[in-house]
Amino acid sequence: MLAYAATATVSSAAALLPVNLTLGAVLAVLLVVAATVAAVARLTPDEGRGRAREIAVAGVRATAQLAAVSLLIGWVVRFVPLLLGFLVLMYAVAARTAGRRITANGTWWWAALPIGAGVAPVVVALLLTGLVPLKGIALIPVTGILIGGALTVTVLAGRRALDELHTRKGEVEAAMALGLTDPDARLLIARPAASDALLPGLDQTRTVGLVTLPGAFVGMLLGGASPVQAGAVQLFVLVALMAVQAVAVAVVLELVARGRLHRDAADGEAGSAPN
């Protein structure tokens, strides 16, 4: 069923969003608008214009990367070793992106653990139960959705936890003075903030069908599936994402509490490695 979602017909997709010069022009305008608003409103922590540059670069990178991937996938899906290598590449890029966004130091590679801990068991279960075959046309998009969800919550949980530890450094020290160990004191302060990373996924699941019709549901409908089939696939994706994200947040919180993921002392002592 999930494989069917990944093979929506080209004619239906083209009718929804034709790939032509008009699409390119609209995308360029939207990217310029996003970067301009970020620059004018100074939507960065330091009230500068760095975020505008990041938006522009992200848009250009996305264009180049999707163009390359679109050409690559047609070749990769024919060979299982290449398919598995492509999945490992997706995972490695997600881990590096999340780690760099959280710490900006040598501890970034620990971000691979929460992403892997959340995604790997779900993907293995899908393969063992036969819900997803070992074929790129199905496995790549499903795994990509799960890795993307894990990446998002890992970044949010890690950054929120470290920010909270920096802001409430005195409370961490007070908890330790009362007899709590360093990891327990850090967990006490960081857990409520890190748990907020689950809110976007929860809200998406609670409002699905009422506020938005997510991609898996629309893709199934475009491919000719019945609304019931489309709804079942979308429900699976949302529930699987909640499981992946819950595991990722729990693991990243533990890594922050134990000082594996930390910022340099100059960036905030309570968010740095424990003594």
| The one-letter amino acid at 2 | L
In a domain, 57, yes or no: no
CA 214 to chain CA centroid, Å, is 16
pLDDT for position 7 = 44
What angle do the packed helices 50-76 and 80-102 form, to 10 degrees?
Answer: 170
Of 37-41, 204-208, 264-268, 269-273, the least confident: 269-273
130 within a domain of the structure (yes/no): yes
User: What is the phi/psi pair of residue 9, to 5°?
Assistant: -65, 145
Query: Could you give phi then psi for residue 181, rounded to 5 degrees?
Result: -70, 165
Lowest model confidence (mean pLDDT) among 105-109, 168-172, 205-209: 205-209
Number of structural domains found in the chain: 1
Burial of 182 (0-12, 13-18, 19+ CB in 10 A): middle
Paired tokens of 86: 């492509």
Tokens 């909640």 — which residue? 242
Model-level pTM? 0.79
C-beta of residue 122 within 8 angstroms of C-beta of residue 146:
yes
Residue 12 falls within a domain, yes or no? yes
Quote the distance between the C-alpha of residue 21 and its chain's center.
30
What rounded mean pLDDT belongs to the chain? Answer: 82
Whether 40 maps to a domain, the answer reads no
Judge whether 217 and 79 are in contact, CB under 8 Å.
no
Which backbone phi and psi does 208 adopt, to 5 degrees?
A: -60, 135
**60 CB neighbour count, 10 Å cutoff:** 11
Residue 186 resides in a domain? yes
- Kindly report, residue by residue over 186-214, the tens digit of the pLDDT: 999 999 999 999 998 888 888 887 776 66
Beta pairing partners, 212: 208
Q: In terms of pLDDT, which residue wins out, 236 or 247?
A: 247
| 230 in Cβ contact with 217 (< 8 Å) | yes
* 52, part of any domain: no
Task: Classify residue 33: in a domain, yes or no.
Answer: no
19 pLDDT tier (thresholds 50, 70, 90): confident
Which stretch of 22-31, 109-118, 151-160 has the lowest confidence by average pLDDT?
Answer: 22-31
Q: Does residue 91 fall inside a structural domain?
A: yes
Nearest to 164 by CA among 198, 189, 201: 189
Q: Is the predicted pLDDT of residue 151 greater than 90, yes or no?
A: yes
Tens of pLDDT, residue by residue over 135-144, are 767 788 889 9
Domain limits for position 236: 2-16+80-271
